[in-house]
Chains A and B, each alone.
Chain A
């Protein structure tokens, strides 16, 4: 009742004066056009040409509002001042700077207009907001409504950035995608005329799966174990474990890579190729003349060190899953004379399974995407695939197209987006599978309990 009255008090002022409504409508229109242009600017390189005219339009509408309110209604319009000054400031920035912005065009990935987009948002959103509020009569829920455009900013920015990256990745990656590049490995062969290099991503694709598989297999036991320990057992060591897992996350991944290299691979260098110690740690390959050579580091070594990253993720996820088991379910099991071990296996772990799967997925993605650990131990992928072969992966291949050996760069640079696209597809596939499994476990073990 009271809200109707409040509306009745504030609305007539707007309804009677149609010029006021018209001006509010102009606010909303110019504001929305500016916001839309901001989105377009993220995708289209030349859209920033629109920015300055649009900001000028916003400024004009704001000034018209200001003038109308001041001269006709005898009111001071602070909103219009804010909108106008933001739009003018934005336009000035864009007019003053364009030549400097060219410098930010790195590989064509960052567009010039990426600067126009935020400026257009900052100019357009307050106008939309003020307009929506004026149009809907200034009631409390109208004020709420008028804030939505502001809430949308981060969404638009994130959406725009992702779209930009994905469009770029897909459009540039698909072009070089072919059956040949998927099924052949990168090779360097010595012909009478000199070295011949041929491109291929096969080892990198299989290597990514190998790293995901080995790392998951190595990490799942210790990860779940640490999670159970931290969540279910209370003693002084609990803190030690929590501290260690947190510390592991805090250490730069690069440092782990250095440690992997200097501790283990260096140590194995004292053993010749063919010696089990060297083969397990460094990996080995056979050249065309049948000679054994030691590589820099095997898939196994890479996976063991990657699991340093993955174990804390799984441990944390397991812990959270176990802590989310309702107390009454735990007590129910204990009150039936079940040992804690039995309850853990039959009730707690199934309950925590969706979390564990999520943790494993995050870990697997980490294994697939990590470069820093492979930095010193991985290779170009010319020596085939297997736990004791030279480690490599798609993410490392992408890195090598910029910083790897010259022949590799020359041969493979054109495939960098293809590799990135494949990595994206693998990660999306993992996510889809994990969500499926997770959904089944959740439906089976976590359906809502009646009565609280």
Chain B
């Protein structure tokens, strides 16, 4: 099976604080990969290293390699990398402009003209078209939180990235908005590769094909979602998935 992203011994540290301690991970093309783990396990930092958003943080050091279709991302132009690897953040962060301008922002940033077809297609893929088709020129800030988050997904899809990174995209949404968000993630399967970070294991189970469990900056276990949830090989994994407390002290023993 082809891998679109492959990391090798990936380490990230903020100053003296090492957050990601060496991760080897292969992310399968066209599938949804979920990364679960308790707060502070380094999953968000790992995700941000994949499209080099870690560059924006001062004193952030990254070691190891990340390959996108076999190409080292750390020698690429970061702007080109981010056009191929998009990202959706935990808090909805629409730009203070109209719905339409939000969706076409990335396209225009690449110097292309955004078409009406692209606008509609992107909003449809994000399962938002029906709700906003009559107010494309309204400010994006008038949408609800859930709609804003799906708008951010549409905005990301409009650039046609190969990979979409999602950092706890349902983190600030209510259950109803979350299920709509999940619907839009499921709609992406096959066309896009999605890496989704979440601390909600049930969400991972619902949307993902592969799940990785992270603890203390390392991957404890990774495998097809059904397998991982039903027959976890590691005791820590089964504890975490069952909702029991797992500590980082336990992880260092792995």
**In whole Å, how far is B145's beta carbon from the nearest beta carbon of chain A?**
5
**Cβ–Cβ contact B86 & A335, under 8 A:** yes
> Can you list, as one digit per residue, whether each of A418-452 has a CB less than 8 Å from chain B (1) or not (0)?
00000000000000000000000000111111111
Query: Which residue among A234, A329, A342, A449 has the maximum number of chain B CB atoms within 10 Å of its CB?
Result: A449
Give the docked Cα–Cα distance between A331 and B47 (Å).
14
**Cβ–Cβ contact B95 & A451, under 8 A:** no
Q: Within 8 Å CB of A350, what residues of B?
A: 96
**Cβ–Cβ contact B79 & A445, under 8 A:** no
Indicate whether B1 reaches chain A with its CB closer than 8 angstroms.
no
Indicate whether A6 reaches chain B with its CB closer than 8 angstroms.
no
With both beta carbons as reference points, the residue of chain B lying nearest to A350 in the complex is identified as B96
In the complex, which of the residues A332, A337, A339 contacts B89, with contact meaning CB atoms closer than 8 Å?
A: A332
**Cβ–Cβ contact B139 & A335, under 8 A:** no
**In whole Å, how far is A324's beta carbon from the nearest beta carbon of chain B?**
13
With both beta carbons as reference points, the residue of chain B lying nearest to A444 in the complex is identified as B96
Within 8 A of B (CB), among A55-110: none
Indicate whether B137 reaches chain A with its CB closer than 8 angstroms.
no
**Cβ–Cβ contact A450 & B141, under 8 A:** yes
Q: Within 8 Å CB of B89, what residues of A?
A: 328, 331-332, 335
**Cβ–Cβ contact B86 & A336, under 8 A:** yes
**Cβ–Cβ contact A339 & B141, under 8 A:** no
**Cβ–Cβ contact B159 & A347, under 8 A:** no
**Cβ–Cβ contact B145 & A335, under 8 A:** no
Q: Within 8 Å CB of B106, what residues of A?
A: 336-338
> Can you list, as one digit per residue, whether each of A201-220 has a CB less than 8 Å from chain B (1) or not (0)?
00000000000000000000
Indicate whether A334 reaches chain B with its CB closer than 8 angstroms.
yes
**Cβ–Cβ contact B82 & A447, under 8 A:** no
Give the docked Cα–Cα distance between A244 and B197 (Å).
46
- Majority DSSP secondary structure for residues of A touching B: helix
**Cβ–Cβ contact A337 & B83, under 8 A:** yes
**In whole Å, how far is A68's beta carbon from the nearest beta carbon of chain B?**
62
Give the docked Cα–Cα distance between A351 and B97 (Å).
11
Within 8 A of B (CB), among A317-345: 326, 328-339, 342-343
Of B6-14, B128-136, B148-156, the one contacting chain A is B148-156
Q: Within 8 Å CB of B93, what residues of A?
A: 326, 328-329, 331-332, 449
Give the docked Cα–Cα distance between A445 and B141 (Å).
10
**In whole Å, how far is B194's beta carbon from the nearest beta carbon of chain A?**
15
**Cβ–Cβ contact B94 & A449, under 8 A:** yes
Q: Within 8 Å CB of B109, what residues of A?
A: 333, 336-339, 342-343, 346
> Can you list, as one digit per residue, whether each of B97-111 has a CB less than 8 Å from chain A (1) or not (0)?
100000001101110
**In whole Å, how far is A406's beta carbon from the nearest beta carbon of chain B?**
59
**Cβ–Cβ contact A331 & B53, under 8 A:** yes
**Cβ–Cβ contact A450 & B145, under 8 A:** yes
Size class of A's contact patch? 20 to 34
**In whole Å, how far is A415's beta carbon from the nearest beta carbon of chain B?**
48
With both beta carbons as reference points, the residue of chain B lying nearest to A448 in the complex is identified as B141
Q: Within 8 Å CB of A339, what residues of B?
A: 79, 109
**Cβ–Cβ contact A336 & B82, under 8 A:** yes
Q: Within 8 Å CB of A335, what residues of B?
A: 51, 53, 82, 86-87, 89, 156
> Can you list, as one digit per residue, whether each of B213-232 has a CB less than 8 Å from chain A (1) or not (0)?
00000000000000000000
* A334-B53, A338-B105, A444-B96 known; A452 vs B172 contact (CB < 8 Å): yes
Indicate whether B37 reaches chain A with its CB closer than 8 angstroms.
no
**Cβ–Cβ contact B148 & A336, under 8 A:** no
In the complex, which of the residues A329, A334, A445, A450 contacts B56, with contact meaning CB atoms closer than 8 Å?
A: A334
**Cβ–Cβ contact A333 & B105, under 8 A:** yes
Q: Within 8 Å CB of A448, what residues of B?
A: 141
Give the docked Cα–Cα distance between A351 and B93 (Å).
14
**Cβ–Cβ contact B172 & A451, under 8 A:** yes
With both beta carbons as reference points, the residue of chain A lying nearest to B106 in the complex is identified as A336
Give the docked Cα–Cα distance between A326 and B109 (Å).
20
**Cβ–Cβ contact A451 & B96, under 8 A:** no
Indicate whether B144 reaches chain A with its CB closer than 8 angstroms.
yes
Give the A-binding residues of B (Cβ under 8 A). Answer: 51, 53, 56, 58, 79-80, 82-84, 86-87, 89, 91-97, 105-106, 108-110, 139, 141, 143-145, 148-149, 152, 155-156, 159, 161, 172
Q: 28 A-B pairs, CB-CB below 8 angstroms?
A: A328-B89, A328-B93, A329-B93, A329-B95, A330-B56, A331-B87, A332-B89, A332-B95, A332-B152, A333-B95, A334-B82, A335-B86, A335-B156, A336-B86, A336-B159, A337-B110, A337-B161, A339-B109, A343-B109, A350-B96, A445-B96, A449-B93, A449-B94, A449-B96, A450-B144, A450-B145, A451-B149, A452-B91
The 7 closest A-B pairs by CB, nearest first: A337-B83, A338-B109, A336-B106, A335-B87, A328-B93, A332-B93, A337-B82
Q: With contacts A329-B96, A337-B79, A337-B82 known, what are 20 further pairs, Cβ within 8 A?
A: A328-B93, A331-B93, A332-B95, A335-B87, A336-B82, A336-B86, A336-B155, A336-B156, A337-B80, A338-B105, A338-B106, A346-B95, A346-B109, A351-B96, A447-B141, A449-B96, A451-B91, A451-B172, A452-B91, A452-B172
